[in-house]
Copies of this chain bind each other. A is one copy, B any other.
């Protein structure tokens, strides 16, 4: 079940990456690469930094297939995707929750400090988008106003708070994902953004 959500999240991230690349007038290869890094870039960065190599997507081809499918759908339906904006956004949000949890868990697996685990969760969920923006020659959107990353950090804190209560692992995962997903939905609905730091 969790694995399935992971694959759905990967596909959603690939589609959103492909759409960004098409807006930048990239060629099909560029679109494919941006789809790729958007969906697995964060996890790749995490794996490389903790020494889990070959990195994830090289060991499980399902991620590669999910990206190729997401890329193909985005390419074929590029003119009609606006109609499915809500579904896309929902899958993307599921990805955010699931990716954060996977990053947290990978840190826990090798006994890293909770602070580092939260950093790994945030990196997994958000840094694919950072690499995408760099490749598209933009300042990463999550550094400017998106509260994306802040939600992942909040989710990580909730996770370790609940962990202290010795909850069942499945329940722990479920609640944390829901917290991330709900905050994300509320953030978009109520237009929560971070303001730039005023230096003046």
Question: Which chain A residues have a beta carbon within 8 Å of chain B's beta carbons?
Answer: 21-31, 33-34, 44, 48-51, 53-55, 57-58, 61, 64, 75, 78-79, 110, 112-113, 115-116, 130, 134-140, 142-145, 147, 149-150, 193-197, 199-200
Residues of B within 8 A of A139 (CB): 24, 26, 135-137
Q: A44-B49, A53-B50, A61-B115 are in contact. Are A143 and B30 (CB under 8 A)?
A: yes
A-B contacts, 5 listed (Cβ < 8 Å) = A25-B144, A48-B53, A78-B197, A79-B200, A137-B137
Complex Cα gap A161–B154 (Å): 49
Closest Cβ–Cβ distance, residue A60 to chain B (whole Å): 10
| Interchain CB contact under 8 A, B33 and A143 | yes
| Interchain CB contact under 8 A, A194 and B28 | yes
Indicate which residue in B50, B75, B145, B195 contacts A197 across the interface (CB closer than 8 Å).
B75
| Interchain CB contact under 8 A, A30 and B140 | yes
Complex Cα gap A199–B23 (Å): 7
Residues of B within 8 A of A55 (CB): 49-50
Residues of B within 8 A of A28 (CB): 194, 197
| Interchain CB contact under 8 A, A26 and B144 | yes
Closest Cβ–Cβ distance, residue A156 to chain B (whole Å): 14
Q: A49-B44, A53-B51 are in contact. Are A26 and B197 (CB under 8 A)?
A: yes
Complex Cα gap A116–B50 (Å): 21
Residues of B within 8 A of A115 (CB): 61, 64
| Interchain CB contact under 8 A, B49 and A49 | no
Complex Cα gap A144–B23 (Å): 12
| Interchain CB contact under 8 A, B49 and A53 | yes
Closest Cβ–Cβ distance, residue A95 to chain B (whole Å): 19
